[in-house]
Structure formats: C-alpha cells, structure tokens
Amino acid sequence: MGAVIILASTISAFKYPAAEAIKLGFIPLTDCAPLVAAKELGLFAKYGVNVELSKEASWANIRDKVLNGELDGAHCLFSMPLSVYTGVGGKAGSEMKIAMTLNNNGQAISLSKDFCGLVGFKDLKKVNSAITEIKKRKEVTFAMTFPGGTHDIWLRNWMAAAGVNQKSVGIITIPPPQMVANMKVDNMEGFCVGEPWNGVAVAQSVGFTHIASQDIWKNHPEKALVVNSKFAAGQKEDLKKVMKAIIEAQKWLDNMGNRKKAAAWLSKPYYVNAPVAVLEARLLGSNDLGCDLGVQKYKDDYMTFYNNGLVATPKKSYAMWFLAQYVRFGYLKSAPDYKGIAEKLILDDLFAEVAKEMSVPVQPDMQAFKTTLDINFDPNNIAGYLSATKK
C-alpha cells in the first residue's frame, strides 16, 4: 500500500471546496512530474480542487485502486486501460478512462553488464547474436512493468526490429522502482522502464542504456491521466479543473529553466526518491549511457510534457495502435473492436472542452503515422498493417 501524500498548497489565498478530496495515484517515475508540479505550484488549489497524491507500489496497484474507487484517477501507462479492458492485464471489460496524455518520450531499454562490449547504443543488428552468446552461459530474461503496458510494447517492438524470437527469452513483470535492484541480483539481463531508473542503473554501474523509447517511436504517447468511470461521469467539472491544473503544470515543465526545480521536487522520498543529478540530467536530455558509450544528447525529443500543445490530446488512433500490438504479439487471438474500444475509453470530447477553455490546440486524429522501427500504421486499415509488420 502506498502512502498518501498531502502537501500544503503554496498558494494560501485559494480555498478548497467542502467536497471530498480528489485522490490521484502515481508511480515513482520522472513522468509523474505534471501531477507533482501541479501540486507543488498550487495549481490544483488555483482551479478550486483539493487533490491528494498517493504514491503507489506498482501498476497493478494503480489498476485495482482506480477500478475499486480508492483512487479517482492516476498517472498511468497510456495503454494500461486498453490492456485491462481486453483482458491482457486485468478483468476483461473493466473500464478505466483516458482523459489526457501527460508526456511523450523518456523511457529506455537498459541492458546488464553481460551485454557490455557485445552491443552498443541503438546497435540493433548485434542484439540477437549477443543474446545467443549470453545464452551459452545462462537463461536470458527481460523485464517490463505491466502486461500490455507501454514498456512491454516498447520492449517487444525492439525485439521484433532486432529479429529476436520473443519465445526464446523470458519476459517478466517487475514494478519500476524495483528494476535496478532486480538487475543487481541477476534476475534479468535487460529491462524497459521509465526514468529515472535507467539513469540509476548507469549511476550504480548495474547496466547501460541501450536505446531510448524516443529512438523506437519519436514523440510517442507514454503516460496518461486515467480516471475511473464514476469520477468521469459524476464529477465532470472537477475532472476538468484537474486537467486544467495539469495542463498549466505541463507548460511550466516544458520551460527548460524550470526542470532543475522539478528534479529537486521529484527527488524527495515521498515522490520518486532518486538522486537529483540523475533526474535532472535526463530531464534536460543528457543521457550518460554507461558501458563507456559516452553521453547521448537529445535536443528535441527528450521527455516532453506540453511541446507547444502536441502532447496532451488523447488520440484514438494511438489507442488502436496499442490494441493492434496485442494482436501482433499474441496477447489477443482475434481482432478486438478497435474503434469501439477507443471510443469507449478515450474521453476526447471532454478533452476538447478543456482544450478550448485553455486555448490548447487539439491535435488531429485517425490519421496514418509511422514509428521509427516499424512500418506505417493506418487506423483505417489495421489488418493490412498486421499482415506486413514483423512479429
């Protein structure tokens, strides 16, 4: 059970309504920053809502508490509601609603020291032979954070692009804050997770950053504000206020001059509890890769939270892409109702209301797009995509 954090508002002039506090969960990851910044800057109070932030232990914990009403909403993997609804990562038919996207980019695949010298940064051509070499000594296992979650899908896209047979290796689920400790005791040879845990693996000389998620799909959706159906339906105006506070926080976070302050907040024990230097460096787009691979500087595709209004729109086409990955990688044996599920779970009409009131551009949807390591995806021809993409 995570501890509930109640922080005093930095803006004492605003008074909370008499209504019960709105409880939002988060996992200790750098990309919980929009919730943290909205709290620390007093933005929830500014918009007239009393928000409590609750640090949770795992994505399964977030899922269960959002569904049973212990949490009204949470910082959540963009694809987790899709995974849960389809039965990949929960009880099929359980509804978690996607209100908005919180960030793009900023995750990575880290490899253990076993791979050091066998494969370099973004060196996909050598991955399969490196795995074969290591398998002469031991089983090779990779970890992600939730079945059908974003990290799971980045990992599987990377394997497909590298020509790795996914049935030839182990794939396990580990909560984000436990990744480095598990690699340290040799429970896995690689993992896909959000920052700062890839940076921490380098700082502790446990592993190295092999590829960042923005190298797999530049400006991909990553975390979302996800809420339960009761909150979405019964407290619509409160949800809109929460979203407005978060959008203002996203704008603040994308002023690079504010990121050192954000890193200092995130480093606190009640938030991410990681070294401020690691948090700060990767927030600023500077990735010390480890394994004598040097530093990779990301100039326009580091972790972004607003990006001139490109981030926040929750796209149905992105939801459909994730659903297609479940078919691609064998989680689902037949095609789901791609459009119907996306329309059921994505609150795009609500987001459009908030965006209009905040003068935030709503991004066009249902258009074809291409990820860096894959072929073109057309949400209007998913069967064609699945017949041509690598498995």
1 pLDDT higher than 50: no
**What is the pLDDT confidence band of residue 326, given thresholds at 50, 70 and 90?**
very high
Contact 66, 228 (CB under 8 A): yes
Task: Compute the average pLDDT of residues 310-318.
Answer: 98
Cα distance between residue 196 and residue 200, in whole Å: 6
Look at residue 20 in the predicted model and tell me its pLDDT.
Answer: 85
Owner of token pair 């000594």: 137
7 pLDDT higher than 80: no
Q: What is the 3-state secondary structure (H, E, C) of 1-55?
A: CCCEECCCCCCCCCCCCCCCCEEEEECCCHHHHHHHHHHHCCHHHHCCCCEEEEE
C-alpha distances in Å from residue 327, one per residue of 112, 136, 147, 324: 29, 32, 13, 5
Task: Compute the average pLDDT of residues 91-112.
Answer: 98
Contact 306, 255 (CB under 8 A): no
Query: Token digits for 237?
Result: 């105006």
C-alpha distances in Å from residue 116, one per residue of 28, 159, 225, 243, 293: 28, 18, 37, 43, 9
Residue range 199-236, pLDDT digits in tens: 999 999 999 999 999 999 999 999 999 999 999 999 99
Other Cβ atoms less than 10 A from the Cβ of 205: the count is: 11
E runs forming strands in the chain: 4-5, 22-26, 51-55, 73-77, 96-101, 107-112, 141-144, 170-173, 190-194, 207-212, 223-228, 286-288, 295-297, 369-370, 376-377
Query: Token digits for 136?
Result: 């002469």
Cα distance between residue 44 and residue 36, in whole Å: 10
Q: What is the pTM of this model?
A: 0.94
CA 388 to chain centre: 27
Look at residue 19 in the predicted model and tell me its pLDDT.
Answer: 63
Look at residue 30 in the predicted model and tell me its pLDDT.
Answer: 98
8 pLDDT higher than 60: no
Owner of token pair 């609603």: 97
Look at residue 6 in the predicted model and tell me its pLDDT.
Answer: 43
Percent pLDDT > 70 in the chain is 95
Task: Compute the average pLDDT of residues 145-155.
Answer: 98
Cα distance between residue 221 and residue 184, in whole Å: 30
Mapping DSSP to helix (H, G, I), strand (E, B) and coil, where does residue 253 land? helix
More confidently predicted of 15 and 278: 278
Task: Compute the average pLDDT of residues 100-106.
Answer: 98
Task: Compute the average pLDDT of residues 369-391.
Answer: 98
Mean pLDDT value across the chain: 95
Task: Compute the average pLDDT of residues 301-312.
Answer: 97
Percent pLDDT > 90 in the chain is 95
Contact 179, 155 (CB under 8 A): no
Mapping DSSP to helix (H, G, I), strand (E, B) and coil, where does residue 210 land? strand
C-alpha distances in Å from residue 147, one per residue of 71, 152, 288: 21, 6, 28
55 pLDDT higher than 50: yes
